[in-house]
Structure 1
Amino acid sequence: MSMRTLLLVGSRLVQVVPVLVLATLAIFGLLQLVPGDPAAVIAGETATAERIAQIRQMLGLDLPVWQQYLHWLSGAVRGDLSTSLITGVPVLEEVLRRLPNTLLIVFMALALSVAIGVPLGILAATNVDGRIDRLVTSTASLGVAVPNFWMGMILVGFFALGLGWFPTTGAASLTQEPLRALHHATLPACALALSGIAEITRQLRSALIDVLSSQYVRTLHAKGLPQSKILWRHGLKNVSLTLLTVVGLVFNRTLGATVAIEAVFAIPGTGSLVVASATNKDFPVVQGVVFVLVLIVIACNLLIDLLYAALDPRMSRR
């Protein structure tokens, strides 16, 4: 790794610190606005006020909010995301147990989005205003409009319940049963990939049309270069940064959309963990899951910055 790349990574990591602090403040602050007392949930409906007060003291919920935040933040920096108020299991252990199920469907959805969206975008851009272009753009617009969870239910009804090709719910360990894990993740990934395919198709089409209609490309045509060489060597090269940006945004959006998809397919992932924990007022688990997901998004953005520098060395000089 060159010194310039190391400086780029260092500068981006420095910029990450205030973003991460603001994210933790938002996570902690918003949960304080949620109605309900976790101590009362733990104590049960028949608990006395003295018992609830005792539990609040045991959990540190009687401290000022700013002290609770600093205590949680100091633990998060050390990798200690506290323990579940309901189960007593360390939050980080529970998150790491469920995270592979979430990441599997996210990366499968991202791979499908790129593998299908890029050819469709190229096909539409090279047939501007033709039948193929109108068909692709209309389908892409529909893909953006259709909710992921609704598509998930359609896929379950047709491919799982109707044809019996895929399981309706659940997940499997990728390390222990890789083929079964991929089989379980196929329908959720397809449901998540729909909007990603549509977004990549639309953005790539628009960017390619701009490049292919530029004076630079017209000059290449005048010099006698074949259309295929212009497209692959010059067109796609010039839109690579745009495509990379869109892929990064699709990843972040897909990661957030797993909450609904995991509910539809009953997948034991981080999304379903957040929903269950929020329902039970298990705030440390909610904070821990969101904190880990924020770290993943930040790592994704850092990777994109490094790829920017690799594709365009001028980016690393900024």
Structure 2
Amino acid sequence: MLSYILRRVLAAIPVMIFVALFVFLLLRLSPGDPAAIIAGDTATPEQLEQIRERLGLNDPLLVQFADWGWRLLQGDFGESILSGTPVTSMIADRMEPTISLALTTIVLSIVIAVPLGVIAAWKHGTIIDRVVMAISVLGFSVPVFVIAYVLIQVFAINLKWLPVQGFTSIFDDPGTFAQRITLPTLTLTSLYIALIARITRTSMLETLGEDFVRTARAKGLAERRVLMKHALRNSAVPIVTVIGIGFALIISGVVVTESVFNLPGIGRLTVDAVLARDYPVIQGVILLASLLYVGINLLIDIAYVILDPRIRYA
């Protein structure tokens, strides 16, 4: 197992180098001039040239990439072009809202979606199965921002139960945190319930047709025990996979939800950086998301061994 983990970590190095190179070239070769954004519309050509020289934008691309890569190896993601704040500090300040939203979303999705998927597979072909699948299709079909605005209209404007915007740390005021995180969580949960429920149902249907499930039933075991201990446990590998990937997707893809609910998270930081052509911030966020994907995939592979003892890594 340790040798496998080491190989996976080493294999991730060229992947991260390729991602860094791709992001660097994509940003540098796309239209737009950070110096013009910093200097404003009234800047003279001389002022623009001074800013480009100060930021190193006049250096050859290879020199810029080598300098940036060397600083990355030292843990320095650079400084924001606009504010001069270290990128690591900016990302750290925005992590709590995004992680809070991701954790509440994935926990609520698992609590609701896994039982729904199990019940749909157990009652395959019945009205219950069709209702669960209809909910899944609806969750996939409706855009996230539409669900967000519907929830805002119902729970914030009409019923006045919950606030629309803002974020409060759970460490400062747990009650206010729960109120402000509820609507964003429900918005994203609608999508991930659909995803996890469908995967759970599909995996359970395959497992329920296996010989060991029929043997368990023939022994007279209670249906609940057959479903939970035998079928669900042996269906856990694809379910864990989609949950892990979903968690990474939530953290790196909450741009719309954070924008609608005005959450000061990574998604909002990314939007602001893209609009301002703030190269260091964009690069730092994308590299963080890539590293997150690699790390979660590694954890998923390790979880396979725990969930299914038949799986062994040389």
TM bucket, shorter chain: over 0.9
2:31 and 2:20 mapped to 1: Cα distance?
19
Query: In structure 1, what is the equivalent of residue 292 of structure 2?
Result: 296
Report if the CA contact (8 A) 2:273-2:281 is conserved. Answer: yes
In angstroms, what is the RMSD of aligned CA positions?
1.5
Query: In structure 2, what is the equivalent of residue 72 of structure 1?
Result: 68
- Greater CA deviation, 132-141 or 296-305? 296-305
| TM-score, scaled to structure 1 | 0.94
- Give a deviation string over 1:235-275, Cα, whole Å, max 9, x none: 01110111111111211222233001011001111111111
1:73 and 1:125 mapped to 2: Cα distance?
50
1:274 and 1:44 mapped to 2: Cα distance?
21
Q: Residue 26 of structure 2 is aligned with which of 3, 23, 30?
A: 30
Query: In structure 2, what is the equivalent of residue 148 of structure 1?
Result: 144
Q: Which amino acid aligns with 1:51?
A: Q
Q: 1:23 to 1:249 in 2, by over 3 A?
A: same
Report if the CA contact (8 A) 2:245-2:296 is conserved. Answer: no
Query: In structure 2, what is the equivalent of residue 253 of structure 1?
Result: 249
Q: Residue 228 of structure 1 is aligned with which of 217, 224, 227?
A: 224
Report if the CA contact (8 A) 1:192-1:257 is conserved. Answer: no
- What 5-or-longer segments of structure 2 have no aligned partner? none
Query: In structure 2, what is the equivalent of residue 161 of structure 1?
Result: 157
- Greater CA deviation, 262-271 or 65-74? 65-74
Deviation at 1:70? 1.9
Report if the CA contact (8 A) 1:169-1:267 is conserved. Answer: yes
1:149 and 1:60 mapped to 2: Cα distance?
39
Instruction: Report the number of matched residues.
Output: 314
Deviation at 1:316? 4.1
- Give a deviation string over 1:65-90, Cα, whole Å, max 9, x none: 12212222222222211111111111
Query: In structure 1, what is the equivalent of residue 192 of structure 2?
Result: 196
| TM-score, scaled to structure 2 | 0.95
Query: In structure 1, what is the equivalent of residue 121 of structure 2?
Result: 125
Deviation at 1:132? 0.5
Q: Residue 110 of structure 2 is aligned with which of 107, 114, 127?
A: 114
Report if the CA contact (8 A) 1:8-1:316 is conserved. Answer: no
1:91 and 1:162 mapped to 2: Cα distance?
40
Deviation at 1:109? 0.7
- Three-state SS of the structure 2 residue aligned to 1:87 is coil
Deviation at 1:177? 2.6
Percent identity, please.
37
Query: In structure 1, what is the equivalent of residue 88 of structure 2?
Result: 92
- Three-state SS of the structure 2 residue aligned to 1:224 is coil
- What 5-or-longer segments of structure 1 have no aligned partner? none
- Three-state SS of the structure 1 residue aligned to 2:58 is coil
Query: In structure 1, what is the equivalent of residue 183 of structure 2?
Result: 187
Report if the CA contact (8 A) 2:258-2:268 is conserved. Answer: yes
